[in-house]
């Protein structure tokens, strides 16, 4: 079934929180305990940017956060229901996020990935993101092993569908 995309409304924020926590728990439990995010933080993020939702059939398959700001945008919290991962939903959500940013007039997209999630930098490199720096991992998350964020950036071609 083809994916349908739409922006989240206030009524979707609990489902967004659940999807993010489910996806990150499956991927990050080896180095961090607890939930990735709470509904209050999702609400705060939603006030600054938007969550793009992906539906297959009638259920939420995944989501991604986008926050355009001038010529730069932040993309984060890419989350796909674990039973649907490796099916192209994450790439389709990134396409939708990048297109959303282009329509907002952004020329660059920035994101952060945890360095010990070895599959992530390669996923984003294939999408033309490059590492531009590092940032500390929040100590209040109490990681089980030392880790940090890789900051990655992509120049957004203003032509529609320019990402690949």
Paired residues of 108 in beta bridges: 72, 155
- Is 142 domain-assigned? yes
- Is 164 domain-assigned? no
- Is 19 domain-assigned? yes
List the CATH number of the domain containing 50: 3.40.630.30
> 3-state SS string over the chain?
CCCEEEECCHHHHHHHHHHHHHHHHHHHCCCCCCCCCCHHHHHHHHHHCEEEEEEECCEEEEEEEEEEECCEEEEEEEEECHHHCCCCHHHHHHHHHHHHHHHCCCCEEEEEEECCCCHHHHHHHCCCCEEEEEEECCHHHCCCCCCEEEEEEEECCCCCCCCC
- Is 163 domain-assigned? no
Q: Which two tokens stand for residue 47?
A: 């006030």
Quick check: 15 and 58 in contact, CB under 8 A? no
- Which residues constitute the domain of residue 49? 4-155
pTM for the model: 0.91
Per-residue pLDDT of the chain (164 residues; tens, 9 = 90+): 689 999 999 999 999 999 999 999 888 888 888 888 999 999 999 999 999 999 988 799 999 999 999 999 999 999 999 998 888 999 999 999 999 999 999 999 999 999 999 899 999 999 999 999 999 998 888 899 999 999 999 999 855 444 43
Which residues touch 127 (CB under 8 Å, ≥6 apart)? Answer: 91, 94, 154, 163, 164
- Is 162 domain-assigned? no
Count of the separate structural domains present in the chain: 1
- Is 161 domain-assigned? no
The tens digit of pLDDT for each residue in 31-45 reads 888 888 999 999 999
pLDDT on residue 2: 87
Q: What residue ranges in 34-142 does DSSP mark as E strands?
A: 50-56, 59-69, 72-80, 108-114, 130-136
- Is 160 domain-assigned? no
pLDDT on residue 158: 57
The tens digit of pLDDT for each residue in 113-134 reads 999 998 999 999 999 999 999 9
pLDDT on residue 30: 86
- Is 65 domain-assigned? yes
């Amino acid at each position: 079934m083809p994916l349908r995309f739409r922006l989240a409304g206030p009524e979707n924020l609990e489902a967004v929180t659940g999807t993010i926590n489910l996806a990150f728990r499956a991927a990050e439990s080896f180095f961090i305990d607890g939930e990735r995010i709470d509904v209050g933080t999702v609400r705060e993020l939603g006030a600054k940017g938007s969550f793009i939702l992906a539906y297959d059939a009638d259920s939420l398959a995944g989501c991604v956060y986008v926050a355009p700001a001038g010529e730069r945008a932040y993309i984060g919290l890419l989350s796909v229901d674990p039973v649907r991962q490796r099916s192209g939903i994450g790439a389709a959500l990134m396409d939708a996020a990048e297109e959303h940013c282009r329509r907002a007039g952004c020329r660059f997209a920035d994101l952060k990935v945890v360095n010990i999630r070895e599959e992530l930098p390669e996923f984003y490199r294939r999408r033309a993101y490059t590492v531009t720096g590092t940032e500390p991992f929040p100590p209040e998350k109490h990681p089980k092993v030392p880790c940090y964020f890789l900051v990655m950036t992509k120049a957004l071609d203003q032509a529609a569908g320019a990402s690949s």
